[in-house]
């Protein structure tokens, strides 16, 4: 079930989110922008949407910096996951392309995860096993719906991408511009996709 007005979904006892990109503020700081840490805000949002979900799946890119782990990530990421472990019976972290050496910081890191015949992956790679699953739930693409407003200015809104087999979640971080284009390698497996905004409006 897609969450309304939030970038996530519920699947059985799981709350599922993608791409929190902890530490992304460092990229803005390097460009001269003053940006507070988003960790507390992200944790607060997770608490708000948790409801009766017993387990949490993070579909990759838990952290932002690549290829190395920053001093800030080394300090903040374990503490963030420790707080999540107090909220959920289990926290499953799918490894994304930004998660190099993440296993040094936290437990529960997996390449992919399966619940019945549904595969949970990041989306920068896809295994043959996942492709044989009945359903794939992924992140990675940071999908948005791009449009022009009444003034003719380009804007974008986060959206879910839905097909009969594949669901791609928008990025949970608020600091990602997002992409209107589908990312490889799932792109070639997606046809007749439907884009649904966070308020559940269907768009083309």
- 79-112 pLDDT per residue, tens: 999 999 999 999 999 999 999 999 999 988 999 9
Contact 123, 171 (CB under 8 A): no
Domain that holds residue 91: 9-203
Residue-level pLDDT at 30: 67
* Terminal Cα-to-Cα distance of the chain (whole angstroms): 21
Which residue blocks in the chain are alpha helix, DSSP H? 25-30, 39-50, 71-87, 128-131
Q: What is the number of other CB atoms lying within 10 angstroms of the CB of residue 66?
A: 13
In a domain, 4, yes or no: no
Say whether pLDDT at 45 is over 70: yes
User: Where does the pLDDT of residue 37 fall: very low under 50, low under 70, confident under 90, or very high at 90 and above?
Assistant: confident
CATH for 55: 3.60.21
What's the total number of domains in the chain?
1
Any domain includes 2: no
CB 30 within 8 A of CB 40: no
- Could you read off the pLDDT of 141-151 as tens digits, one per residue? 999 998 877 77
Q: Which secondary-structure segment (H or E) carries 16?
A: strand 14-17
């Amino acid at each position: 079930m897609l969450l309304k007005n939030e970038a996530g979904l519920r699947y059985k006892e799981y709350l599922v989110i993608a791409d929190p990109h902890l530490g992304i503020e460092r990229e803005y700081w390097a460009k001269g922008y003053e940006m507070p840490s988003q960790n507390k805000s992200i944790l607060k949002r997770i608490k708000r949407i948790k409801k009766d979900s017993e387990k949490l799946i993070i579909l990759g890119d838990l952290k932002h910096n690549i290829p190395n782990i920053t001093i800030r990530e080394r300090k903040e990421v374990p503490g963030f996951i420790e707080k999540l472990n107090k909220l959920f019976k289990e926290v499953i972290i799918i490894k994304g392309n930004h998660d190099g050496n993440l296993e040094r910081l936290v437990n529960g890191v997996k390449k992919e995860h399966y619940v019945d015949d549904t595969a949970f992956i990041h989306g920068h790679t896809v295994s043959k096993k996942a492709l044989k699953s009945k359903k794939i739930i992924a992140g990675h693409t940071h999908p948005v719906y791009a449009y022009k407003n009444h003034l003719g200015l380009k804007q974008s809104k986060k959206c879910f991408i839905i097909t009969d087999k594949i669901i791609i979640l928008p990025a949970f971080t608020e600091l990602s511009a997002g992409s209107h284009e589908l990312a490889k390698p799932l792109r070639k497996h997606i046809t007749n996709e439907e884009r649904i905004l966070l308020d559940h409006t269907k768009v083309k």
